[in-house]
């Protein structure tokens, strides 16, 4: 006899497990079907391990620069095994934490591959889920009232640049490197490409980024992308923008060589390894979508604002529906979806109020529209900009490059976008997120008293700068 649940979640990543906790709080009987490990990409192959490596890279660089702070060190060297051990320990600790949370919420976790089998004979149930275990010999059936698809995404490859995990790597493979290469070609200068470029250059690797667009981080405000590029160039990263990589020219051996077209010219590039970071594609295949009426567009599951698919009892959230492919977005979509199932009347998410962060050195973070996006949408904008070099705490901290840029609507005074590059901006951006949620104006942000000396003063100053009223600049 199949076991019955109020909710079965396919995928126990940041989207799926957070949704499970909220559902359990709402009194639902919940099961998660997870083929890998609880915590998913973010915990095991994304946010957490990459940030742990980035932190080691930063400490290595700063130790080399310690003399500037009056701290004398002798020839710091890198023990990459230890770097990896530290990363694995952090992942392990958080993984145990998620497992504990599942126990606390009495959430059943099935470690296997889940598939929707289609409309159930137990009508009005939406569909039975089959679970296939790694050894292949057991098949459990569970019957949910609601299903949540939270199966995430995987790295996209470029035709002709198939990833072998050794010479040509995805970010998943790169996280598992046991030794560092002397040089690397990074194809794609988006978020992943830039974070890896920053980390690897700090570890002493010779990095070349080949980016198709004319701007690295093409979705960020141009001024922010240029500042990140400038600072990474200073630390030795080579950027080739407007570069059309030619997979047919690929030559592999001890090294890897590839050509890229840039305007009329064709240049060839050689390195020990290649990282391909050209986006991520949704995990929609082989999960039984063909047994349902769920619509898929450009590889992503289509939903309404409350994440219901065409089958009203089947919801989908996170990377599998596209949009902002970010862990915190997936979790919040999960909460909204579950509250909608429980008739809790949740508010739909407003994506212009959601911050996104890049954890390179320098960090970058933004919420809302870039200046170009705002202008293209027809807004008449006014812009305030303030540099970190006029902020005392940034000088104390030893990182005074970068700035905050605020884009506001000239007519209504509304905040349209807040963009940051510099020290700890991935933490500073939360204030900007709150300001957007509360519909604050630059005036209100500027008149919020920011303690001195803190990095946060830059937010107030940039807001005042929208009217030319900044104090220290
Ligand atoms: P991305 O979309 O951020 O960047 C891909 C880049 O590759 C773009 O700049 C694009 O112009 C370029 N590109 C595409 N085809 C190319 C080609 N043939 N040759 C050269 N360049 C090419 O994707 P990503 O960096 O792979 O990241 C995937 C997703 O994961 C993103 O949605 C990102 O937001 C998310 N992510 C977020 C974080 C974070 O929040 N800090 C970290 C890592 C990943």
Cis ω for the linkage preceding 11 (within 30 of 0): no
For atom 19 of ligand 1, which residue has the closest CA? 212
10 Å CB burial of residue 439 (0-12, 13-18, 19+) is exposed
For atom 32 of ligand 1, which residue has the closest CA? 325
Contact call for residues 102 and 25 (beta carbons, < 8 A) = no
For atom 40 of ligand 1, which residue has the closest CA? 357
- Over range 421-432, report the average pLDDT: 98
Mean pLDDT of the chain: 95
Res 374: pLDDT: 98
Tell me the pLDDT tens digit for each residue of 343-398: 999 999 999 999 999 999 999 999 999 999 999 999 999 999 999 999 999 999 99
- Over range 295-313, report the average pLDDT: 96
Cα 409 to averaged position of ligand 1 atoms, centre (Å): 29
For atom 8 of ligand 1, which residue has the closest CA? 190
Q: Which residues lie with the beta carbon below 6 Å from any ligand 1 atom? A: 158, 187-193, 195, 210-213, 218, 245, 277-280, 325-326, 356-359
- Over range 400-413, report the average pLDDT: 97
Tell me the pLDDT tens digit for each residue of 366-379: 999 999 999 999 99
Tell me the pLDDT tens digit for each residue of 72-127: 999 999 999 999 999 999 999 999 999 999 999 999 999 999 999 876 445 445 57
450 flagged as catalytic: no
Instruction: Give the strand pairing for 403-409 and 415-422.
Output: antiparallel
- Over range 13-19, report the average pLDDT: 98
Cα 187 to averaged position of ligand 1 atoms, centre (Å): 10
- Over range 251-272, report the average pLDDT: 96
Tell me the pLDDT tens digit for each residue of 168-206: 999 999 999 999 999 999 999 999 999 999 999 999 999
Cα 170 to averaged position of ligand 1 atoms, centre (Å): 11
**pLDDT band at 304; cut points 50, 70, 90:** very high
- Is the pLDDT assigned to residue 141 strictly greater than 90? no
Output the pTM of the full model: 0.96
């Amino acid at each position: 006899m199949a076991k019955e649940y109020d909710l079965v979640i396919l995928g126990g990543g940041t989207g799926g497990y957070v949704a499970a906790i909220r559902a359990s709080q709402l009194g639902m009987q919940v099961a998660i079907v997870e083929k890998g490990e609880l915590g998913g990409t973010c915990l095991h192959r994304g946010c957490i391990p990459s940030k742990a490596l980035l932190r080691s890279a930063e400490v290595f660089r700063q130790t080399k620069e310690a003399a500037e702070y009056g701290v004398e060190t002798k020839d710091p060297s890198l023990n990459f095994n230890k770097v990896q051990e530290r990363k694995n320990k952090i992942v392990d600790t958080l993984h145990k934490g998620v497992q504990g949370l599942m126990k606390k919420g009495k959430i059943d976790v099935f470690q296997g591959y889940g598939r929707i089998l289609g409309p159930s004979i137990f009508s009005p149930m939406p569909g039975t889920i089959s679970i296939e275990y790694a050894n292949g010999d057991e098949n459990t059936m569970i019957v949910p009232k609601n299903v949540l698809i939270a199966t995430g995404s995987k790295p996209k490859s470029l035709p002709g640049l198939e990833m072998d995990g050794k010479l040509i790597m995805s970010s998943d493979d790169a996280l598992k490197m046991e030794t560092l290469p002397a040089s690397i070609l990074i194809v794609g200068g988006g978020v992943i490409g830039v974070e890896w470029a920053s980390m690897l250059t700090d570890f002493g690797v010779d990095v070349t980024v080949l980016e198709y667009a004319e701007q690295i981080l093409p979705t960020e405000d141009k001024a922010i992308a240029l500042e990140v590029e400038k600072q990474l160039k200073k630390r030795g990263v080579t950027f080739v923008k407007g570069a059309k990589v030619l997979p047919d020219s690929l030559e592999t051996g001890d090294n890897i060589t590839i050509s890229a077209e840039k305007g009329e010219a064709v240049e060839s590039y050689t390195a020990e390894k290649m990282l391909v970071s050209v986006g991520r594609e949704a995990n929609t295949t082989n999960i039984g979508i063909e047994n349902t009426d769920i619509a898929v567009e450009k590889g992503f599951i289509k939903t309404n604002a409350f994440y219901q698919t065409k089958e009203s009892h089947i919801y989908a959230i996170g990377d599998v529906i596209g949009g902002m492919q970010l862990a915190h977005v997936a979790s919040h979509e999960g909460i909204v979806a579950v509250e909608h199932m429980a008739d809790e009347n949740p508010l739909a998410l407003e994506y212009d109020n959601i911050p996104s962060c890049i954890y390179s050195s320098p960090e970058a973070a933004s919420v809302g529209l870039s200046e170009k996006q705002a202008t293209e949408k027809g807004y008449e904008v006014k812009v305030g900009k303030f540099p970190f070099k006029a902020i005392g705490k940034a000088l104390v901290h030893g990182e005074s490059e970068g700035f905050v840029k605020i884009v506001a609507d000239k007519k209504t005074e509304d905040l349209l976008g807040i963009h940051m590059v510099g020290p700890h901006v991935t933490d500073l951006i939360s204030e900007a997120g709150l300001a957007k949620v509360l519909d604050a104006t630059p005036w209100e942000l500027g008149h919020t008293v920011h303690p001195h000396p803190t990095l946060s003063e830059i937010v107030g100053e940039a807001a005042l700068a929208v009217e030319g009223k900044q104090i220290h600049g």
